[in-house]
Amino acid sequence: MPVVHVVLPGDIDDPATPSGGNSYDRRVCDGLVELGWTVREHGVPGEWPRPDGPARTGLAGLLAGLPDGTPVLLDGLVASVVPEVLAGHAGRLRLVALVHLPMEGDTEAAALACAAAVVTTSEWTRRRLLDRYRLDPARVHVAAPGVTPAKPVEGTAAGARLLCVAAVVAHKGHDVLLRALAEVPAPWTLDCVGALTRDPRFAAGLRRLAGDLGLAGRVRFTGPRTGAALDAAYADADLLVLASRAETYGMVVTEALARGLPVLATAVGGVPEALGRAPDGDLPGLLVPPDDPAALADALRRWLGEPRLRDRLRRAALARRGTLAGWPATATLIAHVLDGVTT
C-alpha cells in the first residue's frame, strides 16, 4: 500500500473558516484513501502563508523526520513561501506542491523549483505558473476540483433569490456587487454566505455600505455555512452571483452547476473554465468584467427582467450539470502525479 505524507495548513477542518482550498484538500485526502493510499496528514501550525519563525522551524522538523524517498504533498499556502525549508529536503524527499492560489514572486519561484512536481487546480493557474517561472511543463499538472452530486434546485418564477458564497474579503468583490444591486429595482434578495472574520474591517465596511445604499433590508450576511446548511442555501437560490476581482478556479461555480443553478460571475482567472458550456455550446450563466458595477447591474437586470433568458440559462445549467466530474477523478489525477515522482 503506497504511503503519502500530506502537509496542510493547521486550520483545514475549522468550520469557522471554510474555503475552497481547504475543501479541496480534504476531498483529495479522502479520495487517496479510497484509492488505496495510506495518507499521513500533518496540519502545521502557523499563519500560513505568512509563517513566523516557529512555524518555519516546525515545518523543517516535520520534513526532517520523514524517511528518504517519501512522497510529500504540500498545500501551496505552505510550500510556496518557504523555499529555504524545502531546499534542504528536495534531494531526498519527493516533494509535490499543490498550488491553489499563485503567490507570484521570487519566493514562490524558488519554492516550486524544489518540487519534483507541481499540481494546479485549473488550466489557468498552470498557464500562469509556466508564464512566470522557469518550470518544466512536464512537471506541472492540472487536477481540477470535482463536485459532489446534488439534487437540482427548483428555482422560482421571478428568479429573485440571489446567493453569493464567498468569504467576505476584498478580492471577492462584495462591494462591487452591492453597488450593482443599488441600481437594480426590487424585488430581489441576496444572501451572502461566507466567513466574516478573515478581514473584519472590510466586513464591517461592507455592512455600512449596504446601509448607505439602502440595501440593508434585502441583503443578509449569514456567516459561513457547511454541510446541510450550505446545501439548503443553494436549494433556496435562483442565481449564484460571484463578483470576484481574482479567482483561480471558483469551486462555488461548479457547486452551483452541480445543482443546475445558473451563475452570474466575473470573467477572471479560472472562472470561465469552471463555468464551461453545456453540451450544445450554451453558457450556463453570464460573465461580466471585474470591478464593473454597471456591467454587473445590467446583467442582473437582464436576469430579473427576461423570463426567456432565465429559462435558457436554467436549461444550460442543468445540461452542464451532467458533464461535471466527481471528486474521485480529482484524486485519481493526483495519485498519478504521486506515482510519477516515486518511480
Q: What is the DSSP string of 3-21?
A: EEEEEEETTTT-TTS--HH
Per the CB < 8 A criterion, the answer to whether 296 and 288 are in contact is: yes
Where is average pLDDT lowest: 16-20, 104-108, 224-228? 16-20
What is the extent of the structural domain holding 186? 161-321
- Same domain? For 204 and 298 the reply is yes
In this prediction, residue 21 carries a pLDDT of 87
Q: Is residue 23 part of a domain?
A: yes
- Same domain? For 307 and 331 the reply is no
- Same domain? For 113 and 134 the reply is yes
- Same domain? For 181 and 287 the reply is yes
Q: Is 151 a residue whose pLDDT tops 70?
A: yes
Q: Is residue 58 part of a domain?
A: yes
Q: Is residue 152 part of a domain?
A: no
| Mean pLDDT (whole number) for 8-17 | 76
In this prediction, residue 16 carries a pLDDT of 67
Q: Is residue 155 part of a domain?
A: no
* CATH code of residue 165: 3.40.50.2000
Work out the percent of the chain whose per-residue pLDDT is above 90.
94
> How does 207-230 read in b/e, with b if 16+ C-beta sit within 10 Å?
eebbeeeebeeebebeebbeeeeb
- Same domain? For 271 and 315 the reply is yes
- Same domain? For 249 and 338 the reply is no
Where is average pLDDT lowest: 8-12, 114-118, 231-235? 8-12
In this prediction, residue 116 carries a pLDDT of 97
In this prediction, residue 112 carries a pLDDT of 98
- Same domain? For 203 and 256 the reply is yes
Q: Is residue 14 part of a domain?
A: yes
pTM, 2 dp: 0.94
* Tens digits of residue pLDDT in 293-336: 999 999 999 999 999 999 999 999 999 999 999 999 999 999 99
Q: Is 13 a residue whose pLDDT tops 90?
A: no
In this prediction, residue 1 carries a pLDDT of 82
Per the CB < 8 A criterion, the answer to whether 331 and 27 are in contact is: yes
* Tens digits of residue pLDDT in 67-93: 999 999 999 999 999 999 999 999 999
In this prediction, residue 120 carries a pLDDT of 98
* Tens digits of residue pLDDT in 154-204: 999 999 999 999 999 999 999 999 999 999 998 999 999 999 999 999 999
**C-alpha grid cell, residue 91:** 534531494
Count of domains forming the chain:
2
- Same domain? For 124 and 174 the reply is no
Q: Is residue 194 part of a domain?
A: yes
- Same domain? For 275 and 296 the reply is yes
> Predicted confidence band at 234 (pLDDT cuts at 50, 70, 90)?
very high
Q: Is residue 156 part of a domain?
A: no
Q: Is 11 a residue whose pLDDT tops 90?
A: no
Label residue 254 left, alpha or beta by phi (over 0 means left) and psi (-120 to 50 means alpha).
alpha
Q: Is 278 a residue whose pLDDT tops 70?
A: yes
Q: Is residue 212 part of a domain?
A: yes
- Same domain? For 135 and 218 the reply is no
- Same domain? For 227 and 120 the reply is no
| Mean pLDDT (whole number) for 250-276 | 98
In this prediction, residue 10 carries a pLDDT of 81
Q: Is 19 a residue whose pLDDT tops 90?
A: no
Sign of the C-alpha dihedral, residues 176, 178, 179, 181?
Answer: positive
Q: Reading across the β-sheet that carries 219-223, which strands appear in turn?
A: 219-223, 189-193, 161-165, 239-242, 263-266, 285-288
- Same domain? For 176 and 141 the reply is no
290 cis-preceded (ω within 30 degrees of 0): no
